[in-house]
Amino acid sequence: MTERTNPGGLGGVISVVQTPFDDNDELDPRSHRRQVDWLFAEGTDGVVTGMVSEVLRLSSDERDELASLTCEAAAGRGPVIVSVGAESTQTAVRHARHAAKAGANAVMAVPPALTAVGDDELFGYFATIAETSGLPVVVQDASGYVGRSLSIELQARLFWELGDLALFKPESPPIGPKVTALRQATDGGARIFEGTGGLHLIDSYRRGAIGTMPAGDLVWAMVPLWQALRRGDFERAYAIGGPLAMVITLQSSLDTFVAIEKHNLVRQGIFPSARMRGPVGTIGDELTLAEVDRLVDRLRSVVDAGE
C-alpha cells in the first residue's frame, strides 16, 4: 500500500457540509448541528465548507457565522476546513483570520473567478492567505465549475515555497493526469484531495491522493469506499464506486450538486427543507429526483451487503 504523508491529520474523508436555510432564507443553526453530528456518527474524518455549501450566496458575515457554527459543532471530533476564497486577497484574508480564531484546522481557497491574473499574482494570493492566517491552505482548482484552471507550475511552486502549508484539490479535468503531473512536479510530496464527489476517487487514490472532499449526503458510502481503498480491497471499492458514480453523473452543475445533495439530506431526515438561495439555475425535475432516489437505494444495498 502506498504511504500517504499526512501532517496535521488532514486526510481521509472530509465531508463538505450543506448550508440549511429556514423559510426566511436565514441560516438554520439547529439543522446544521444535526448535519455535523450525523456526519461524524457515520464515520467522517472531518468536515469542510465549500462551493456546495453555497458560500458564494452568503454575505461575508454569514460565511464567518457558518465557519463558527461548523467549528463549534465539530470540536474535538475531527478537523475543520473553512472555505475562504474571494475576489480579493483582502476579503480572503479576512475570512481566513476568522477561521483561525474560530478554531479551524485549515482553510480552502478557490482563485478569483472574475479576473484573469498570472501565476505570480495567484501565488501571492494563496501565500498571503496561508501566511497571515497561520493555517494550511487547500488550493482548490474548481474550474470544472467556476473560474480558470490553475497551472501545475503554480501549484508546484506553492508546494516548494509553502511546504506543509499547501495542500491541493484539483477539480479540473482530466483529473487523474493532473494528479499525476502535480505529484511528479513535487517529487511525490504534494498532498492531494479528490474533489469530484468520489467520481474519480479510486483512480486518484491509485495516483497518490491522501483523501477526498465529497458532499456529506452520501457519507455512509464514502467512508466504506475510502476504508476499502486503504486496506487494498479494490473489489469492494469498485462495487461501491459504480452506483456512486451513477448518482454523481446526474449532478452536472454546481446548482444540481446542491439541489440533489439537499434532496438526499431531506430524504434521510437530516434537513427539514431542500431550500436553496436564488437565483438558481437548472436543477433537474421530479423525474431526475426519482432517479436519484432509485440510485441511492441501490447504492445503500451495495454498501449494506458488504458489512
Give yes or no for residue 8 having a pLDDT over 70. Answer: no
Q: What is the DSSP string of the chain?
A: ------GGG--EEEEEPP--B-TTS-B-HHHHHHHHHHHHHTT-SEEE--GGGTGGGS-HHHHHHHHHHHHHHHTTTS-EEEE---SSHHHHHHHHHHHHHHT-SEEEEPPPSSS---HHHHHHHHHHHHHHH-S-EEEEE-TTTSS-PPPHHHHHHHHHHHGGGEEEEE-SSSHHHHHHHHHHHTTT---BEE-STTTTHHHHHHTT--EE--BGGGHHHHHHHHHHHHTT-HHHHHHHHHHHHHHHTT--SHHHHHHHHHHHHHHTTS-S----PSS------HHHHHHHHHHHHHHHHHHHHT-
Q: What is the tens place of the pLDDT at every residue in 206-249?
A: 999 999 999 999 999 999 999 999 999 999 999 999 999 999 99
**pLDDT of amino acid 115:** 85
Break the chain into its structural domains and give their ranges: 9-231
CATH number of 9-231: 3.20.20.70
Q: What is the tens place of the pLDDT at every residue in 86-129?
A: 999 999 999 999 999 999 999 999 999 888 889 999 999 999 99
**pLDDT of amino acid 142:** 85
**pLDDT of amino acid 240:** 98
Give yes or no for residue 29 having a pLDDT over 60. Answer: yes
Q: What is the tens place of the pLDDT at every residue in 268-288?
A: 999 999 999 999 988 889 999
